[in-house]
Amino acid sequence: MAVRKLRMGMIGGGKNAFIGAIHRIAANMDGLIELSCGALSSNPETARASGKDLFIPEDRNYGTYKEMIEAEYKLPADRRMHFVSIVTPNFAHFEPAMMALEHGFHVVIDKPMTLTLEEAKKLNTKVKETGLLLCLTHTYSGYPMVKQARQMVKEGKFGEIRKVCVEYPQGWLSLPTEREGNQQAAWRTDPSKSGKSGCMGDIGTHAAQLAEYISGLEITKICADLNRVVDGRLLDDDGNLLLKFNNGANGILMASQIAAGEENALTIKVYGEIGSLEWHQEEPNTLKVKWLDAPAQLYRTGNGYLSSFAQHNSRTPSGHPEGYLEAFANIYRNFALTLSAVLEGDLPTKEMLDFPNATDGVRGMAFIENVVASGQSDQKWYDFKI
C-alpha cells in the first residue's frame, strides 16, 4: 500500500506533443503519482511555457533535462522527484535516462528504449548496477485481456504453443505527410531521430513484444522483408516477417503504416496443441478462446472468473469499456506500486512487478537491428542476436 504520492519529473511532452499528454493522463489516473517538475521540450522557452500551462511550480519548471536532474538531485529527499518519465523521440532517450540513473532516479521511458542496441545494453547494465527501476511503456501489455491470455498460456491451457501470428496495420503514413507539416510523421521517418527502422521500430516492436509476452517464448530467428512504399521515404513503412521461437514454434509478424483505412488494428493469434486464443486491440475487452474439441468461448474484462493478473488490471465492472488510456495507466500503476513497495521496504507482489523493464528494452532494440539486418541479407533465416 502506497503511503505517499510519488513525485514525477517529465522530460519532453510539452506543447503539440501527442504522447506527453497520454503519459500524464495515465500517470494521474490512480492518484498515486503527481507531476512535480519538468523539462518539457528541447527548446528552453517552449519547455517553460509548456510547464506554465500545466501549473508546474516556477522554481521546478526547467529549461533543460540536465538542469532538472541536477537541481532535483540537490533538493531534500522529501521534496525531490522520485522518478523521471522520458517521453521524447527515440534519439533523445539514452542521455537523460543514463543521467537520471546516475543521479539515483528511477526511470519510466517510452519505447523503443533507445536509438541503438548498444545504448540499450548500457542502460540495462546501469539499471543492474544501481538496483533502480526502469519501466518501458509497451502499452498493449497493460490490457486486462492480454494479461489473461498470458496467464492461460503460462498455465498450459492450450498445450505446447506451435504458432504465433501477430499483425499491426496502420494507414496514417500512406501519403508523404512528413513532407506536409506533420511533426509526428517527420521525426518517425527521419533516421537521425527514429533510428534504423521506421515502421518496425515504431509499431513492429509492439507486435514483437506482444508475441513474446503472451506466448512466453523468445524469437530466435527472423526472415524479414522490409519495404519503403512511399516514394522518397528514408525508412521502412511496411514489413513482413517469418519468425522462429525458442521452443520450435513458428510465427508471422506483419506491420504496416501504409495500410490505407486502418487505424490501430493490432491483432494476435496464438495456437497451441489443443486450443488457441485471439485478441484485437480495437476491441480490447474481449479475448476469444477456441478449442480443438469444444465450443469457442469469449472471456470478458471485469468478470470474477479471470486470473489475478487480469483482475488486478481491471478498473470497472464488466460491460464498461476499458481502453488505451486505462492500459497505459496500468503500466504506470504497476510501476508506482512496485516503487512504493521498494521505498517502504516491502516486497512487491507478482502482479505489481508485471510491467516491461530494461531487459525488454534490450530485446526490443535487438529486434529492430536484427530485422533490418535480415531485410538487407539474402539468407533465408537470420539468427536473432543480442
**Triad 165, 239, 288: Cα angle to 5°:** 20
What are the residues whose beta carbons fall under 8 Å from the beta carbon of 231, sequence distance 6 or more?
176
Looking at domain 6-140+330-357, which CATH architecture does it have? 3-Layer(aba) Sandwich (3.40)
Q: Which of 93, 70, 82 is nearest to 11 (CA)?
A: 93
Name the fold adopted by 143-318+363-383: Dihydrodipicolinate Reductase; domain 2 (3.30.360)
C-alpha cell read off for 75 = 533538493
* Domain ranges for the chain: 6-140+330-357, 143-318+363-383
Tell me if 85 sits within 8 A of 11, measured CB to CB.
Answer: yes
Report the pLDDT value the prediction gives residue 2, as an integer from 0 to 100: 60
| Rounded distance between C-alpha atoms, residue 331 and residue 313, angstroms | 9
How would DSSP label each residue in 201-262? IIIIHHHHHHHHHHH---EEEEEEEEE--STT-SS-SEEEEEEEETTS-EEEEEEES--TT-
Q: What is the pLDDT of residues 262-309, one digit of tens each?
A: 999 999 999 999 999 999 999 999 999 999 999 999 999 999 999 999
Chain mean pLDDT for the chain: 97
For the chain, percent of residues with pLDDT exceeding 90: 98
Q: Which of 149, 159, 139 is nearest to 87 (CA)?
A: 139
Q: What is the pLDDT of residues 313-340, one digit of tens each?
A: 999 999 999 999 999 999 999 999 999 9
How would DSSP label each residue in 122-138? HHHHHHHHHT--EEE--
Tell me if 221 sits within 8 A of 243, measured CB to CB.
Answer: yes
C-alpha cell read off for 183 = 511533426
How would DSSP label each residue in 134-187? EEE--GGGGSHHHHHHHHHHHTTTT-SEEEEEEEEE--TTSS-GGGTT-HHHHH
- Top mean-pLDDT range of 1-10, 15-24, 231-240: 231-240
Count of C-beta atoms within a 10 Å radius of residue 318: 12
Report the pLDDT value the prediction gives residue 1, as an integer from 0 to 100: 53
- 297-300 and 382-383 strand pairing: unpaired
Q: What is the pLDDT of residues 352-384, one digit of tens each?
A: 999 999 999 999 999 999 999 999 999 999 999
Q: Name the strand (E) or helix (H) holding 279.
A: strand 275-280
pLDDT at 4 over 90: no
| Rounded distance between C-alpha atoms, residue 13 and residue 56, angstroms | 13
Q: Name the strand (E) or helix (H) holding 192.
A: helix 191-194
Size of the chain, expressed as the number of residues it contains: 386
- 83-86 and 106-109 strand pairing: parallel
For the chain, percent of residues with pLDDT exceeding 70: 99
Q: What is the pLDDT of residues 160-201, one digit of tens each?
A: 999 999 999 999 999 999 999 999 999 999 999 999 999 999
Same fold, 6-140+330-357 and 143-318+363-383: no
Tell me if 270 sits within 8 A of 153, measured CB to CB.
Answer: yes
Q: Which of 152, 140, 136, 135 is nearest to 308 (CA)?
A: 152
Tell me if 216 sits within 8 A of 156, measured CB to CB.
Answer: no
